[in-house]
Structure 1
Amino acid sequence: MSLHTTKLLINALKKLGELMCDPDNELAAIIQNAQHHNAWFTPTEVKKSLSSLGEMLNESDLEQWFSTICLTTTPKKVGLILAGNIPLVGFHDVICVLATGNTALIKMSSSDDKLIPTLLAQLVNLEPSLADRIQYVERLKDFDAIIATGSNNSSRYFDYYFGKVPNIIRKNRNSVAVLSGNETTVEIEDLGHDIFDYFGLGCRNVSKIYIPKGYEIKNFFEPLEKYQPIINHFKYNNNYDYNKSIYLVNAVKHYDNGFLLVKEDLSFTSPLAVLYYEEYDSINNIEKLLDNAHDNIQCVVSNINLSIKKETISFGESQHPRLWDYADDINTVDFLLNLVK
């Protein structure tokens, strides 16, 4: 990729980021209509995703990111199977393919098939040379590599069909938070974003907290009151009511603040509207536990300086990844650059 081409791409992506942070009329209409196709994609949540991704595409980070990209002019065809659990969740994979000079064969999720095409059309308007490198497909064929995101069940299907070509196949992951017990009210409020943004449907959402023995749950609940309106979303409310009834019928001990159920559990994967917790008496034990479970965890949120393999993220920042924060700790750009060697 020539320096001139890189500059053009950086400029186009920067302008796209500005549009995402300040949508024009066309994008604003898509934002408003998204919830009619997918009830989870409310205008508030879609705007939240657009803003986060728009911030990612700032000029400084783009220049730093592109400085690591040096590739041949012989593009490969990369099949992308995108997820649709939260708005625009596959956008970063598409950008990685385009930034490395490859061609994206995009199989959209039926849950999110309007937002990304709208944004990519805007990107092509800004940089027309990308037009031939973006293709939407119903069935993947004639590809050189695959990046597929799905559940643990779908990953077995992906392994079977795509295991013979270079691939990144992503499975279920969850994010956790480790509390010291000394968090400020503001820090717990910020943690609320990690828990409730996108209704808790993303792999970067915190689904479990680790708390010191003797921690008062009321100290956790009180700062979260600002998120109470989440219960007004009918699908979230349905999940809350269902899980609450199960716990009540089965006499399962839990805490309830009227919009979030908190239950002690060893698992990382909590049901929607439920947050699991586990008590600890030693940070060293938690560090060992998290390192042993490294492959099941997407993010670790904490104000503690943890000695673990995974980088710790500040409260409220799990849904604000930067260009080089790759899903599952697999460097997507390195994977794509190696295809052309």
Structure 2
Amino acid sequence: MTTIAARKNSFVTLGKFLLQFSLEKSQKNPDVPHNEAFFDRFVSLINLSQSHNGWYTPEQVYFAIASWAEALTEQNIERWLSRYDLSGVKPKTIGLILAGNIPLVGFHDFLSVLIVGHKALVKTSSNDQHLLPFLAEYLIAVDPNLASSITFTDGKLENFDAVIATGSNNTARYFEYYFKDKPAIIRKSRNSVAVLDGNESHEQLVALGEDIFRYFGLGCRNVSKLFVPKNYNFDAFFKAMFEYQDVIQYEKYANNYDYNKAVFLMSNFKLLDNGFLTIKEDTSYASPISSVFYEFYDDLTDVETRLDTDKDQIQCIVAKGLVAHEVPFGKTQKPELWDYADNVDTVDFLTQF
């Protein structure tokens, strides 16, 4: 049985381990334990990630690793957990069914379960089967007591007390039926939006490009829809997006761009296109890869009402000084530990049984 202090320390140590790795240059820090067993293996695993999942380019994997390295500091972990009383938690087994759309997308659930003091029974996505088990192995090297708290399974989840499952809207219906007798968090498909007023600076729009293109737009925190004022001129938007033109060099993205553009054109939809991104007027939130939808508005109050009505479909709202609960430009893919997916407090859930 580990103590809360030991569990916190294990994840802080993991953060220091991750801090050594970057796309430009990975460099050993002699103060980080277990490098002899893990450093070179992790570099090799990162380099192999694209062969396991074509979307997991080194750039995207290193970005995910850097984001977690920044998050897993002692200061952040203390701030995150300070609002909870974890002293009375009785260890349970929590089933985790993880998504695989972006690298380490399920890590926050994994972290939350372990740091609260529960056991994690993990079913990884077939699209992301290698990174999390490796980090779990490192955590166990840091604190061998964690070995009894981490189990990965390829088969059916069995012998668990509660579950956190992430999937599409279709799989969520299956999850809700299958786990109806267990405490559960069931996550469905969501999308993120940006609300613009036409006064954004070039730098803000470039940062918005990060929210659109990071992870090739595959995450629920990626902006897939713009709300813009009537008669909005997209010239400044496209000028800022030009900084991301290299995205078309990735074959999987280019194939999606060609396919989705062809589908739109065959349907006689009116498009704006810059050679690697199409934008289309559409009331939907979920746009295909390589495309962003937009919608005009007359009054910001109407946008706020719409977003509140549709809040169960929305993960993040990017804006500056326009709407409530907005996320700054360029920050959607760097959530803090206390920024919970779907606004469901995972740690609070995990302390209820």
Which range, TM-score by smaller chain?
Answer: over 0.9
- Of residues 309, 319, 333, the one that matches 1:319 is 333
1:84-163 equivalent positions in 2, closer than 5 A: 84-137=100-153, 138-163=155-180
Structure 1 Cα separation of the partners of residues 306 and 112 of structure 2: 32
Q: Which residue in 1 is equivalent to 2:238?
A: 221
CA contact (8 A) 1:211 1:277 kept: yes
CA contact (8 A) 1:178 1:304 kept: no
Normalising by the residue count of structure 1, what TM-score does the alignment of the two structures yield? 0.95
CA contact (8 A) 2:100 2:126 kept: yes
Structure 2 Cα separation of the partners of residues 84 and 56 of structure 1: 20
- Of residues 10, 16, 37, the one that matches 2:52 is 37
Normalising by the residue count of structure 2, what TM-score does the alignment of the two structures yield? 0.92
CA contact (8 A) 1:82 1:107 kept: yes
Report how far residue 54 of structure 1 moved: 1.4
Structure 2 Cα separation of the partners of residues 28 and 66 of structure 1: 31
Q: Does 1:246 align with 2:246?
A: no
CA contact (8 A) 1:71 1:100 kept: no
Report how far residue 73 of structure 1 moved: 5.4
Structure with bigger RCO (C-alpha 8 Å, 6+ apart)? 1
Report how far residue 66 of structure 1 moved: 2.5
Query: Kindly tell me: are residues 333 and 73 of structure 1, through their superposed partners in 2, closer, same or farther at Cα, counting changes over 3 Å?
Result: closer
Structure 2 Cα separation of the partners of residues 11 and 78 of structure 1: 22
CA contact (8 A) 1:6 1:66 kept: no
CA contact (8 A) 1:266 1:278 kept: yes
Structure 2 Cα separation of the partners of residues 73 and 206 of structure 1: 37
> Letter of the aligned partner of 2:352 in structure 1?
N
CA contact (8 A) 2:195 2:322 kept: no
- Of residues 317, 328, 332, the one that matches 2:342 is 328
Q: Which residue in 2 is equivalent to 1:207?
A: 224
CA contact (8 A) 2:4 2:116 kept: no
CA contact (8 A) 2:8 2:77 kept: yes
Report how far residue 304 of structure 1 moved: 2.3
1:142-291 equivalent positions in 2, closer than 5 A: 142-291=159-308
Identity across the alignment (%): 48
- Runs of 4+ in structure 1 over 6 Å off: none
Q: Which residue in 1 is equivalent to 2:42?
A: 27
Report how far residue 69 of structure 1 moved: 4.0
Structure 2 Cα separation of the partners of residues 333 and 111 of structure 1: 26
**SS of corresponding position for 2:351:** helix
- The range that moved more, 286-295 or 124-133, is 124-133
CA contact (8 A) 1:175 1:205 kept: yes
CA contact (8 A) 1:71 1:337 kept: no
